[in-house]
Amino acid sequence: MKFFKKYIFPGLYGLLVYFTVRLLHDTDVRERFWERQFYINAVEISCSIFVGYTAIYLFQKLFNYFNRHWPLQLNYKGIVRELAILVAVDLILVNIVFVPMDITLHRDWNPFWISWADIADINMIPTLYAIVYYGIARSSIWLHAYVDNKLQLEKVTNEHLETELKFLKAQYHPHFLFNALNTIYFQMDDDLQGAKNSIEKFSELLRYQLYDQQLQVEVINEIEYLQSFIDLQKIRSSDRLNLKISFDRQLHSQLVYPLLFLPLVENAFKFIGGHYNLTVDAKLDNGQIIFRVENSVPDFEPPIIRKGGIGIENLKRRLDLLYPQKHSLLIEKQQETFVAELKLDYE
């Protein structure tokens, strides 16, 4: 294949240019080139083959120059610039060779004269084939540039999303620390031993957040984490708390991104009131993990529920990044109950 491209194809390229020019010219003037004198055809074919080899050689040199000096970026400006240079070189070549050849071959009847039709054919046909050759020869290069651009764009996008996720996680940690430490603070005066136990549980929760660096975790780990968090929150909750927890036993090895359920439970404990009913439910249903939290609310509506706190806004953004088009989040007040329901596609 390399032998054909290097030694055979340039000659065929020159012959293609020649026969196309002859076809158009002879059709216009009603001539038959094979009826002309042999030496005229021989000279024209020889010059055409020479132009073919020279043109392909120059084109390859230009392509190497483009690759060395201009980065591969798929854009109209780059393509037009390369194509303009290639066409200019091709026009210079064909005019240097074909114009003197045409004048020399017709000097017997009109020396130093060449028709405008011949000039048009000499310039237009090689130019069209040069453009076609450019499109074919550079297609793989531009395809490579297109793929590189797409990969670079995806890399930048992924880095941006990763940075945003890290920011959201860093933003959430102080929020979690404040709430957990506030719980232990209320315990210090009345139950010192209980406060120590709470600190141990708090350290386990914090360790899960800080040292578990997997992109995804098994949902059973999230459930155990939530159970520890609920145990910690129950310490500072009212004795009137009526808590119901239901975790589907089928929830075990399904993979989810961590710390997505926690803000819903945390908000429920924060804004519970009225009859102090709190229900936490998680189950599998038709390829989805459905996590639902319901809590009774006080007679007044806390401002944070109306506008959404840092935990909920943080959660919404993380869901958009981690589960695009694969989640739904419902947060609404239903009479005396506040409902938050998160559905995740895990398959």
Q: What would the mean pLDDT of 275-303 be, rounded to a whole number?
A: 87
Mean pLDDT of the chain: 79
Parallel/antiparallel/unpaired status of strands 255-256 and 288-296: unpaired
Q: Measure the CA–CA gap between 279 and 337, rounded to whole angstroms.
A: 10
Q: Is the pLDDT of residue 317 over 60?
A: yes
The answer to whether 248 and 292 are in contact (CB under 8 A) is no
**Total residue length of the chain:** 347
Cα separation values, 90 from 13, 107, 133, Å: 13, 25, 12
Is the whole model's pTM more than 0.85, yes or no? no
The answer to whether 86 and 138 are in contact (CB under 8 A) is no
pLDDT digits (tens, 9 = 90+) for 117-141: 778 888 888 999 999 998 888 877 7
Domains annotated for the chain, with CATH where assigned, are 2-155 (no CATH), 191-345 (3.30.565.10)
Percent of the chain with pLDDT over 70: 75
Instruction: Give the range among 27-36, 55-64, 258-267, 289-298 with minimum mean pLDDT.
Output: 27-36
Assign 305 a pLDDT band (cuts: 50, 70, 90). Answer: very low
The answer to whether 296 and 277 are in contact (CB under 8 A) is yes
Q: What would the mean pLDDT of 66-93 be, rounded to a whole number?
A: 83
3-state DSSP assignment of residue 112: coil
The answer to whether 265 and 226 are in contact (CB under 8 A) is yes
Q: Where are the alpha helices (DSSP H) in 70-115?
A: 76-105
Assign 306 a pLDDT band (cuts: 50, 70, 90). Answer: very low
pLDDT digits (tens, 9 = 90+) for 132-183: 998 888 877 777 766 766 666 666 565 555 655 555 555 555 556 666 677 7
pLDDT at 27: 72
Q: Which two tokens stand for residue 337?
A: 């109950």
Q: Which of 205, 297, 203, 194 is nearest to 236 (CA)?
A: 194
Pick the more confident residue, 122 or 55: 55
